[in-house]
Chain A
């Protein structure tokens, strides 16, 4: 089976678009697009909100509330929203499925970013904050120059965790008539074409790993060495951040 999968993946015909069937390249692009949009929107909403709540200490109920969102089954919400929204989009085929998908993906990406940003700001040393205010920084200057840079590690792990979950769930979106790498999984299943199905799985896994790696590289070059404690050039860890800081953020909010 493994060799069959390998052949399916390396067959260049599969990478181009065939008749009526999209190739790997197209689906890959579609998947990345859906994921990127969702993460971007979630970032725009959750990052400033998390910074605000962490800095002022007001509205912490929002953080616990969004954490309870995690209990929702993603597939269920996806189907529910699709069934609610898509009938309104007759004729404009893809939007009817795209919008519920993006809503679900954004809802999925917000909790990790929000709770990690909040925890990051909270974890900034009280002494540094006190010194910053005492030196004459205004509230927003303290946030911009001290709290934000020092919370970057946690913010990044929230971002990485969110990206992972979005890429994973975007796969499921292919349960709907949408593009994306999940298409190979569901079509493979329907056609009993198991190399295709498993090949789709491999592709998703590779995409997830690649994205996490890219974010890890960005993190390494963005976060100050004084904060990450990286005083000798150690390697970049992939994936560790995601699992770790889901739990850390959970613990922070308990």
Chain B
């Protein structure tokens, strides 16, 4: 008796079976994707914090720095991917180009977020803290940054979610991540459509994006107990 091979089915709903059939490879891609999305944001934040602080502290720096950031952000992601190697002296298709390019993107987005987040701290609070004897660095770490957390979290959410999508794009130029599911699916889709890898890829990307989003929202809530106290009323 012939049992229908579930993997051979090309229906969209069979993505789970496909996942299981190619478990090792899919998980590898998933893991690569997680790192490629998250690491640049972390690196971006680390670089953006001092830059954003500078732009906030010295107001004359704000316009030029933000213009440059804006310019960088305007460059489409794939263009940035292919432009990184010549500028950084890498070979033309180096796996490192994705994290570097995405870090540049994240910095460009987060500099403004950090600067505006710090600007959102009410001036009275800053004055009071200074008057109480907080040194500038302590004040930044213990007063200004915590209050700026909501704005910075909003920026982090945008950065990570868009990174997930952009990393997938890098799959089309051959780099290892969930985007490979799409290229595979596309190649296998002639003559008839072969859905499972494509759908799997979308499902995993969306799940990943939502997971990142949720993590940041929870971290935000955890770091800002004073807001919860007000909303609970």
Contact = CB atoms under 8 A, between A and B. Distances in A.
B83 A251 contact: no
Interface stretch (A17-25, A41-49, A80-88, A148-156): A80-88
Given A172-B172, A240-B70, A201 B79 contact: yes
A240 B67 contact: yes
A77 B169 CA distance: 11
A5 B79 CA distance: 13
Contacts of A84: 193
Interface stretch (B22-30, B39-47, B136-144, B150-158): B150-158
Contacts of B85: 1, 198
B66 interface: yes
Given A239-B67, A247-B155, A82 B73 contact: no
A185 B185 contact: no
Contacts of B183: 79
Contact of A197 (B92, B150, B161, B168): B92
A53 interface: no
Interface string B48-82: 00000000000000010011011111111111111
A186 B172 CA distance: 9
A185 B158 CA distance: 27
A243 B183 CA distance: 29
Kindly state the interface size class of chain A when it binds its partner.
35 or more
Interface string B75-104: 111111111011100001100000000000
Given A208-B76, A247-B109, A238 B71 contact: yes
Interface in A172-215: 172, 175, 182, 185-186, 189, 194, 197-198, 200-202, 204-205, 208-209, 212
A125 B157 CA distance: 28
A76 interface: yes
A110 interface: no
Interface residues of B, number: 66
Contacts of B82: 185, 197-198, 200-201
Contacts of A70: 161-162, 165
Main secondary structure of the interface of B (DSSP, over half): helix
Interface in B151-207: 151, 154-155, 157-158, 161-162, 164-165, 168-169, 171-174, 178-179, 181-183, 185-186, 189, 191-195, 198-199, 201-202, 205-206
A37 to B, nearest CB: 18
A73 B30 CA distance: 14
A180 B151 CA distance: 37
Contacts of B67: 237-240
Contacts of A134: none
A242 B158 CA distance: 12
A5 B169 CA distance: 23
A2 B86 contact: yes
A54 to B, nearest CB: 20
A241 interface: yes
Interface string A11-43: 000000000000000000000000000000000
Interface stretch (A136-144, A163-171, A222-230): A163-171
A243 B112 contact: yes
B210 interface: yes
A74 B169 contact: yes
A246 interface: yes
A1 B94 CA distance: 15
A204 B78 contact: yes
B198 A76 contact: yes
Given A197-B82, A240-B66, A240-B67, A71 B210 contact: yes
Contact of A198 (B86, B192, B199): B86
A75 interface: yes
Contacts of A79: 182-183, 185-186, 198
The 4 A-B residue pairs with the shortest CB-CB distance in the complex, in nearest-first order = A239-B70, A168-B76, A240-B70, A201-B82
28 contacts: A70-B161, A71-B164, A72-B202, A73-B164, A73-B168, A73-B182, A76-B201, A80-B198, A83-B198, A164-B76, A171-B78, A185-B82, A189-B174, A198-B82, A198-B85, A204-B76, A204-B79, A205-B74, A205-B75, A205-B83, A208-B74, A208-B76, A208-B79, A209-B71, A239-B67, A239-B69, A244-B66, A250-B158
